[in-house]
Structure 1
Amino acid sequence: MSTPYDIPEAPEILDRREGPYGEVVLRRHGDLLQIIANGCFLMDTSDGRSERRLVDAALAALDGRAAHRPHVLIGGLGVGFSLAHAAGQPEWGRVAVVEREPAIIEWHRGGPLAALSARALADPRTEIIETDLVRYVHETSDTFDALCLDIDNGPDWTVTEDNGTLYSLSGLAACERVLRPGGVLAVWSAQPSPEFEGTLRNAGFRQVRTEEVPVARGVPDVVHIGVRPG
């Protein structure tokens, strides 16, 4: 019986772009589609359970506090698992996604990743915002009930050096400013980060916790969660 790991050794490059933040590559490896940024593996289409858990954890942490159908901001489009899952949940009133790489947006709108996100992109609640997330949380006047971050491999393993500021006290203050009182910050990571959990507490977030997401191999993925004081 074949498994997700019975794949050819040599991946096929489907597209390679020099984007505003460096090289971004979409490749096919057997049945999987993979996104590589500046030589760093970001994600593939093998599973998606941790990306879906990111959204579910944020919704659960809201615990019905929003007076309306809550609005969620997803940081990073990736292969579209988080977007597709959020758009499939009627509980969300608005699903906004910030993505800074034009190529990734194009791969979803009419390219190889369209099959994963077409229904979500057609949903009137969905909005794609083409900009850098770090800049967006510092500059936008918009607010959300939940912010789900999945733009790096975690607080301790960022795709670009500038992203590291997002997980500092000043970066978390910017994340807090786009959250409404009682809003939830959920951060995906490929491994636990006790240091980041401490930074969340020092930044004033409450009900801070880390949820493990089992994976097929290796250390479990995690979702770091914090709630903005009401």
Structure 2
Amino acid sequence: MSTPYDIPEPPEVLDRREGPYGEVVLRRHGDLLQIIANGCFLMDTSDGRSERRLVDAALAALDARAVDPHVLIGGLGVGFSLAHAAGQPRWGRIAVVEREPAIIEWHRTGPLAGLSARALADPRTAIVETDLVRYLDETSDTFDALCLDIDNGPDWTVTEDNDGLYSPSGLAACARVLRPGGVLAVWSAKPSPEFEGTLRNAGFQQVRTEEIPVARGVPDVVHLGVRPG
């Protein structure tokens, strides 16, 4: 027989904003912080293994001779990837593109600051508030690695216009900002053999997929490809 103590506490809404791409909500559920976009769960602070592996896999795939490599992280999220990159002295410059001003504010002065304050104070770190696709089309900067953690990956996007990032034209834009020999690392909530083919067709070499086991369900993955030298 159940008791009132068996009923989980409902999430507490800490902030709710109408952003440029719809509603974004920051919730606390027990010890976890959660980001919800347009009513769909995006991410929380429960683990972070796969987000950290995204950065590690990109760094490992770089030529060991790369000196002070520059990394571009697409998507700030709860800050796992940024915090992990800032904890690695080998990276030279760490740029993060995030299009939701509310998420940036939650990191700078809000509840997510505990995860990212040290990384944001790192002189190597720069936060760019814009849409990643627009940034890729307009920037003249180049990078040694591009770590994409946008939406839920190539096969399951919450925001419709994120689909284009994983299309042939989106991958061509990714390749343009990578230096020869640069690494593209793409986080996904599930494996996508079709996306491996899309990467190869876009000209990336050494395409492979790393799986990261999760507590329940299919593994998270990191898709990797290298721009030809």
Q: TM-score interval w.r.t. the shorter chain? A: over 0.9
Match of 1:142, SS state, is: coil
Residue 163 of structure 2 corresponds to 164
Distance verdict in 2 for CA 1:87–1:4, change over 3 Å = farther
Tell me which stretches of 4 or more aligned residues in structure 1 moved more than 6 Å: 1-7
Following superposition, the deviation at residue 40 of structure 1 comes to: 1.5
CA displacement 1:192-213 (0-9 Å, x = unmatched)? 0111110000000000000000
CA displacement 1:87-112 (0-9 Å, x = unmatched)? 00001001110000000000000100
Distance verdict in 2 for CA 1:168–1:29, change over 3 Å = same
CA displacement 1:154-184 (0-9 Å, x = unmatched)? 1011131111011111110000001000000
Instruction: Answer whether contact 2:63 2:181 (CA < 8 A) is retained.
Output: no
Distance verdict in 2 for CA 1:137–1:195, change over 3 Å = same
Distance verdict in 2 for CA 1:62–1:163, change over 3 Å = same
Residue 92 of structure 1 corresponds to 91
Task: Provide the aligned length of Structure 1 versus Structure 2.
Answer: 228
Q: Identity of paired residues, percent?
A: 91
Gap runs ≥5 in structure 1 = none
Match of 1:5, SS state, is: helix
Following superposition, the deviation at residue 8 of structure 1 comes to: 3.0
Match of 2:5, SS state, is: coil
Distance verdict in 2 for CA 1:38–1:66, change over 3 Å = same
Gap runs ≥5 in structure 2 = none
Following superposition, the deviation at residue 218 of structure 1 comes to: 1.2
Distance verdict in 2 for CA 1:165–1:10, change over 3 Å = same
Distance verdict in 2 for CA 1:10–1:63, change over 3 Å = same
Root-mean-square deviation (CA), in Å?
2.9
- In 2, the alpha carbon distance for the partners of 1:201 and 1:127 equals 31
Match of 1:224, SS state, is: strand
- In 2, the alpha carbon distance for the partners of 1:192 and 1:47 equals 19
Distance verdict in 2 for CA 1:192–1:46, change over 3 Å = same
Instruction: Answer whether contact 1:7 1:31 (CA < 8 A) is retained.
Output: no
CA displacement 1:20-76 (0-9 Å, x = unmatched)? 000000000110000011112111000000000000000001031424xx0000000
Match of 2:4, SS state, is: coil
Instruction: Answer whether contact 1:190 1:221 (CA < 8 A) is retained.
Output: yes
- In 2, the alpha carbon distance for the partners of 1:115 and 1:7 equals 29
Deviates more, 1:75-84 or 1:57-66: 57-66
Instruction: Answer whether contact 1:7 1:29 (CA < 8 A) is retained.
Output: no
Larger radius of gyration: 2
- In 2, the alpha carbon distance for the partners of 1:3 and 1:24 equals 34
- In 1, the alpha carbon distance for the partners of 2:109 and 2:3 equals 28
TM-score scaled by length of structure 2: 0.95
